[in-house]
Chain A
Amino acid sequence: GAGVSQSPSNKVTEKGKDVELRCDPISGHTALYWYRQRLGQGLEFLIYFQGNSAPDKSGLPSDRFSAERTGESVSTLTIQRTQQEDSAVYLCASSQLPSSYNEQFFGPGTRLTVL
């Protein structure tokens, strides 16, 4: 079946503009995660959605970052007034169960460049 897909694959924007990144999780996966990966760095957790529960937003770095998820499907990560330090790969992952061990399936990421 189809894996996690993300769009766009690449996004170049000017400082101060808003961007929207999209994630389509694997069908039936109740949990969805967003991460940021700066060049040569590990994964920085941003936000986690699980079913209809309130999302865990503890990783969002500032109020310029927000995310939504419609039910158990598509999620959108929005970055307002982008800054150069927002340049990174934004990875989305989904998993079937929200347990401590839950294999996350990652999308290919969106590479964001802020000029």
Chain B
Amino acid sequence: QKEVEQDPGPLSVPEGAIVSLNCTYSNSAFQYFMWYRQYSRKGPELLMYTYSSGNKEDGRFTAQVDKSSKYISLFIRDSQPSDSATYLCAMRGMRFGAGTRLTVKP
């Protein structure tokens, strides 16, 4: 079993939709949870991070952690075509999910 599991998609939604991206993990010692965004042919960039359980909001983006279920989520509200990218969850710095490729259609 991989330490971090993420559905690679692809996921296609219409502009304005709410997007939900998810990861599960196996190591209960993980405390920091990150989401990176990677545009085509670019390196990933940190989008958000959370510590332990709970929610964190930044504009249209909300990161959610449920440590009891070992499940993390990233929600994107009012999705825009510019949100089209691959979203990778990451834990403990070097453990990345497979990435979910998102396309937001105008």
Contact surface of A with B, Cβ cutoff 8 Å: 4, 33, 35, 40-43, 45, 48, 59, 91, 93, 95, 98-104, 106-109
Q: Would you call B93 and A102 a contact (CB within 8 A)?
A: yes
Q: Within the assembled complex, what's the spacing in Å between the Cα atoms of A41 and B99?
A: 7
| B46: interface (CB < 8 Å) | yes
What sequence of 0s and 1s flags, for each residue 33-57 of chain B, a beta carbon within 8 Å of any chain A beta carbon? 0100000011111100101000000
For B88, what are the chain A residues with a Cβ–Cβ distance below 8 Å? 42-43
Contact indicator A45/B94 (Cβ below 8 Å): yes
User: Contact residues of B with A, CB < 8 Å?
Assistant: 6, 8, 31-32, 34, 41-46, 49, 51, 88, 90, 92-99, 101
Contact of B49 among A40, A45, A101, A109 (CB under 8 A): A101
A1–B41 CA distance with the chains assembled, in angstroms: 21
A106 and B45 contact, Cβ closer than 8 Å, known pairs A42-B99, A45-B94? yes
Q: Nearest-CB distance from A61 to chain B (Å)?
A: 15
From B8, B42, B101, A108 is in contact (CB under 8 Å) with B42
In the bound complex, CA of A35 to CA of B94 (Å): 9
Question: In the bound complex, how far is the Cα of B42 from the Cα of A91, in angstroms?
Answer: 10
A109 to B42, CA, bound (A): 7
User: What are 24 A-B interface contacts by the 8 Å CB criterion?
Assistant: A4-B43, A41-B8, A41-B98, A41-B99, A43-B88, A43-B90, A43-B99, A45-B94, A45-B95, A45-B96, A59-B94, A98-B93, A100-B31, A100-B92, A100-B93, A101-B34, A101-B49, A101-B93, A103-B34, A103-B49, A104-B44, A104-B93, A108-B42, A109-B41
